[in-house]
Amino acid sequence: MWAKRKDCKEIIEAAWQAGNSLITLEGIASSLSRCASDLMAWNKDVIGNIPKKIQEKRKALNTLIAQDHDGSRGAKIDELRKDINELLDSEETLWHQHSKIHWYREGDRNTKFFHARASDRRKKNTILGPWNDEGC
């Protein structure tokens, strides 16, 4: 999810450009550490508050819609809707990644069940040969 965001790339570039010496191992380790801490702080501020930001933007959108009797605030309303859609996409990606982590950790507990279902379906859908109207 981070890779989709421009500000993530900017944080990484800033952390590496602020590095003292990228020639020595200590310099590289220092830059990696700085980059990691900057990304963690950014994640907490930006990614960690997605549900709160969605709620705030929806509230602002509803207020604008209620106040827009003459249609003069259409551009601002469209901009808020676009922001909300981007936040919802980010939230969906976040939940998708969480589900992958859970699946990898927990595994599939119903493997035997699903294998049996697939095998039964394959047997049912198998064509043994051409048949005529008399069943031969």
Q: pLDDT tens-digit profile of 51-87? A: 888 899 999 989 988 888 887 888 898 999 999 998 8
Domain ranges of the chain: 1-48, 49-107
Q: How far apart are CA 119 and CA 127, in angstroms?
A: 14
Per cent of the chain over pLDDT 70 is: 86
The per-residue pLDDT for 59 is 93
DSSP for 27-52, written as a single string: HHHHHHHHHHHHHHHHIIIIITTHHH
CB atoms within 10 A of CB 90: 19
Q: How far apart are CA 120 and CA 115, in angstroms?
A: 9
Per cent of the chain over pLDDT 90 is: 7
User: Regarding predicted confidence, which is higher, 40 or 48?
Assistant: 40
The answer to whether the pTM exceeds 0.85 is no
